[in-house]
Amino acid sequence: MKVFQFNGGRIGVTIDSQSYDLTEALKIDVQSWPPVQMVQFIAKVDQNMPAILTHPLTKKMDISSVRLDVPISWPNKLLAFPVNYLAHGVEMKSVNRADLNGFFLKANSSLSGPNDAIVLPDLPGREIHHECELGIVIGKGGRNISRENAYKHIFGYACLIDMVVRGKEERVMRKSYDTFCPFGPWITTSDEVPDPANLQTRLWVNDELRQDANTKDLIVDIPGMIELSSKVATLYPGDIIAAGTPAGVGPVSRGDRVRIQIEHVGEMTLLVQ
């Protein structure tokens, strides 16, 4: 199943190539604030599905005719792992490594959707880089989740770009500008991802392939990230973990098109403004 938000807070799913608008059946008020409807949907998905598909207010829809929004607007948190592929550590001449340093946070408000531009702040002379990452979405929350149980806590996966201004200021600030976390275009649920530890992840700027790596080369693997982060903080449904970037990061400029593609998960192209 693919789960998405569209047209300003509506929720839909795609199952076997057919998409459904669940907004009315789920009694979602798209005007309500804060916009936590997707987090609530993820928290209750087991009790709602598949009955919601046969609800009289569920409508078939054409996903290609709507504007897809960021699939999760208001998670409890957005965790991110730093240098999590050895080759990226080498290229950055970094002493950081995910297995030594653990995670950091990005502002939740940096999340943006597949049809939103990446808006660069006006910082003359500074490099602003793309980082191509697998986004992991927590389904069942918990604390002190073991490696063995980790995959049971994952709702699904999405493409995620961890944008960053290179420099010496606090990392959280350099990575937290609005639109610095394109995420989407939908969440592909874990049952549709055959082996999350073997996903090719690619990123192009215009037509230049910049990043091309496989999640099998993660230093801290997916169960390891969940084990480590849940030792510190309770994970909640809808929390997002950015898995860390492989080698090939580089600068973007206004007018560029950034395309991210993750095998079995999805693909999206963002305009840089």
Binding residues (CB under 5 A) for Mn ion: these are 131, 162, 245
The minimum distance between CB 101 and Mn ion, in angstroms, equals: 12
Please give the structure tokens belonging to residue 157: 């996966």
- Give the 3-state secondary structure of residue 167: coil
Distances from the Cα of 107 to the Cαs of 34, 44, 189, in angstroms?
A: 15, 25, 24
Kindly tell me which of 4 and 85 has the beta carbon lying closer to Mn ion.
Answer: 85
Q: What is the DSSP code (8-state) at residue 257? A: E
Kindly tell me which of 116 and 162 has the beta carbon lying closer to Mn ion.
Answer: 162
Residue nearest to Mn ion (CB): 162
Kindly tell me which of 162 and 221 has the beta carbon lying closer to Mn ion.
Answer: 162
With vertex at residue 193, the alpha carbon angle to CA 268 and CA 41, rounded to the nearest 5 degrees, is: 75
- Give the 3-state secondary structure of residue 217: helix
Contact 72, 187 (CB under 8 A): yes
Q: What is the DSSP code (8-state) at residue 241? A: E
The minimum distance between CB 72 and Mn ion, in angstroms, equals: 18
Kindly tell me which of 188 and 245 has the beta carbon lying closer to Mn ion.
Answer: 245
The minimum distance between CB 107 and Mn ion, in angstroms, equals: 14
Distances from the Cα of 79 to the Cαs of 45, 116, 232, 243, 250, in angstroms?
A: 22, 21, 11, 9, 22
In the chain the first and final C-alpha atoms are separated, in Å, by 32
206's enclosing H/E stretch is none
What gap in Å lies between CA 198 and CA 236, rounded to an integer?
25
Kindly tell me which of 110 and 245 has the beta carbon lying closer to Mn ion.
Answer: 245
What gap in Å lies between CA 23 and CA 55, rounded to an integer?
11
Kindly tell me which of 21 and 131 has the beta carbon lying closer to Mn ion.
Answer: 131
Kindly tell me which of 96 and 149 has the beta carbon lying closer to Mn ion.
Answer: 96
What gap in Å lies between CA 178 and CA 252, rounded to an integer?
16
